[in-house]
Amino acid sequence: MTAHEIDYRIYGEEMQYVEIELDPQEGVVAEAGSFMMMDDGIKMETIFGDGSQKDTGFLGKILGAGKRILTGESLFMTAFYNDLTGKRNVSFASPYPGKIIPIDLTEFGGKFICQKDAFLCAAKGVSVGIEFSKKLGRGLFGGEGFIMQKLEGDGMAFVHAGGTMARKELAAGETLRVDTGCIVGFDQSVDYDIEFVGGIKNTVFGGEGLFFAKLQGPGTVYVQSLPFSRLAGRVLASAPRGGGKDKGEGSILGGLGDILDGDNRF
């Protein structure tokens, strides 16, 4: 194996975290902001590039970091190493309520494609890159699914799904239509494209967006019930207007109370 062979344990229900057990000289890479806690003796190092161990030289690291910028991630990743003789643990937390999914890349032919904000951490040696769309429809109308990350190697990786996670095993030719933001990831054998919803009423009044993601098997697909964009949208929609307290919250009059109180901002 080129990636470090790590052990792990996932704790919790709604707000999970994964504890990685590192043998001496083993390491794990993670996105900035996912770190939770670590034992004494763990060395933390900021690395430049895609997190793999490949010696691609300075230019290769520049290209790898540049690809990460396109997915909205930082130029740098954080690596954690066990420099002592005994086993040590380091833990990484979910960014919001949902499930942590362990991905053994050897079971997916060495490559797994996921949403750009789904990746949490991986064994040192796993490459975290970018999966460009080769189809015009995906590039123009894919929304959150336009640019996706790819995890390559032969080690363990961990991705996060918001809300409740569904794993779908698609047979050859079997099709699944999903909201573009609800995709967590899929293996490289799945064909991914964008499909127009169709129909004037659906387009104008449907409220579900103009396009679906069309996933065709064979392969494995992970779907989430609560994408972060949807969660953030609901939070913003519920925020008090004008920075003040929402007087209609919980009252019988509701929004009418704002009018009676002289606050007619909508």
Strand partners for 90: 20, 38
The pLDDT of residue 73 is 56
**Is the pLDDT reported for residue 257 higher than 70?**
no
The mean pLDDT of 220-236, rounded to a whole number, is 83
- Quickly state the pLDDT bin for 250 (edges 50, 70, 90): very low
The mean pLDDT of 209-230, rounded to a whole number, is 86
- Quickly state the pLDDT bin for 266 (edges 50, 70, 90): very low
The pLDDT of residue 108 is 93
Strand partners for 128: 151
The pLDDT of residue 202 is 47
pLDDT single digits (tens) 196-205: 765 454 444 4
The pLDDT of residue 198 is 58
The pLDDT of residue 59 is 53
Per DSSP (E only), the strands in the chain are: 7-11, 17-22, 27-30, 35-38, 42-48, 76-82, 88-93, 98-104, 111-114, 119-123, 127-131, 148-152, 156-162, 165-170, 175-178, 183-187, 191-196, 211-216, 219-224
The pLDDT of residue 195 is 80
Of the two residues 222 and 56, the one the predictor is more confident about is 222
> Taking a C-beta distance cutoff of 8 angstroms, is the pair 151, 106 a contact?
no
d(C-alpha 22, C-alpha 78), whole Å: 15
Rg (CA), the chain: 21
Helix (H) or strand (E) holding 256: helix 256-260
Mean pLDDT of the chain: 78
**Is the pLDDT reported for residue 8 higher than 60?**
yes
- Quickly state the pLDDT bin for 174 (edges 50, 70, 90): very high
**Is the pLDDT reported for residue 261 higher than 60?**
no
d(C-alpha 102, C-alpha 91), whole Å: 14
Domains present along the chain, CATH in parentheses = 7-236 (3.60.160.10)
**Is the pLDDT reported for residue 246 higher than 80?**
no
Residues 6+ apart with CB under 8 A from 266: 241, 255
Cis ω before 95 (30° cut-off from 0): no
Q: What percent of the chain has pLDDT over 90?
A: 42
